[in-house]
Amino acid sequence: MADADAVEIPEVDSVSGSGIPIRGNDIDTDQIIPARFMKVVTFDGLGEFAFFDVRFDDDDNPKDHPMNEDRYRDSSVMVVNNNFGCGSSREHAPQALMRWGIDALIGESFAEIFAGNCLALGIPTVTADAETIEALQDWVDEHPNGDLEIDIEAEEVTYGDETIDVTVDEAQRKALVEGVWDTTALMKSNAGEVRKKAEELPYVEGSQVPDAAD
């Protein structure tokens, strides 16, 4: 039986880092990671292609975009607007953002599947009203090196001298704070129970039952 302590899933009760404002409603996953960059075996290297078509022209010359600015190069908290991550349900989108350096997102709202894909990576997607988000984006614009501190459990964001209330989906909050957001790791850490349950199922043949160490 696999050692239950062999796979550790970190609790994510808070995230902090400098911010980067990405303005605009209905930014879809095709903007976040264009489809032509998804023909990969692994997600490694996707970060450099995040928002590629809005960051570069047809000759790969940089456009005016926050992700091309040196002052945001080390940012880890993305501040967005309404319905971010809509469109195709490609998991490559949050994978690309994570590999660019994003650890959390604050926005008006997120597409449900996108938020779920972020959760699978341990990336919080917290929300606030439009006026609050606009004020936060403006502050980040003026203080590119200023830290944003996201308290997942308390549902608060602190920046400068301000602390604002945000909303974290209850299922997401519970999964992050209790460290149960990585379902694959959970299955690996409970491989013995998975095998036991598979052996009990009448429609699973013996050859299909996974070894506890798999």
Does any domain span residue 77? Answer: yes
Average pLDDT of every residue of the chain: 86
User: Residue 32's pLDDT band (boundaries 50, 70, 90)?
Assistant: very high
Is 106 part of a structural domain of the chain? yes
197 falls within a domain: no
What is the C-alpha to C-alpha distance for residues 19 and 32, in angstroms, rounded to an integer?
Answer: 17
What CATH number corresponds to the domain at position 34?
A: 3.20.19.10
In a domain, 4, yes or no: no
The answer to the question of residue 6 being in a domain is no
Mean pLDDT value across residues 20-46: 89
- 132: part of which helix (H) or strand (E)? helix 130-142
pLDDT-derived band at 206, boundaries 50, 70, 90: low
Predicted confidence at residue 187, as pLDDT, reads: 44
pLDDT number for residue 184: 53
pLDDT band at 39 (very low <50, low <70, confident <90, very high): confident
Burial class (CB in 10 A: 0-12, 13-18, 19+), 165: exposed
Residue 152 backbone class (left: φ over 0; alpha: ψ -120 to 50; beta: rest): alpha
Note the pLDDT of residue 140.
Answer: 98
CA distance 155 to 127: 9
Q: What percent of the chain has pLDDT over 70?
A: 79
pLDDT in tens, 122-142: 999 999 999 999 999 999 999
**What per-residue confidence (pLDDT) applies to 36?**
87
Measure the CA–CA gap between 51 and 93, rounded to whole angstroms.
9
- Residue 104 within any structural domain of the chain: yes
Would 61 be classed as within a structural domain?
yes
**Cβ distance 85 to 50 under 8 Å?**
no
pLDDT tens track for 59-104: 999 999 999 999 999 999 999 999 999 998 889 999 999 999 999 9
Q: Which residue's entry shows tokens 């970060």?
A: 47
Work out how many domains the chain is built from and give that number: 1
| pLDDT tier, 182 (very low <50, low <70, confident <90, very high otherwise) | low
Lowest mean pLDDT across 14-23, 31-40, 152-161, 190-199: 190-199
pLDDT in tens, 43-54: 888 899 999 999
Whole-number Å distance between alpha carbons of 144 and 123:
21
CB 127 within 8 A of CB 167: yes
Beta sheet of 147-151, edge-to-edge order: 125-127, 104-107, 77-79, 14-21, 147-151, 156-159, 162-165
Q: What domain range is 72 assigned to? A: 14-173
Does residue 187 sit within a domain? no
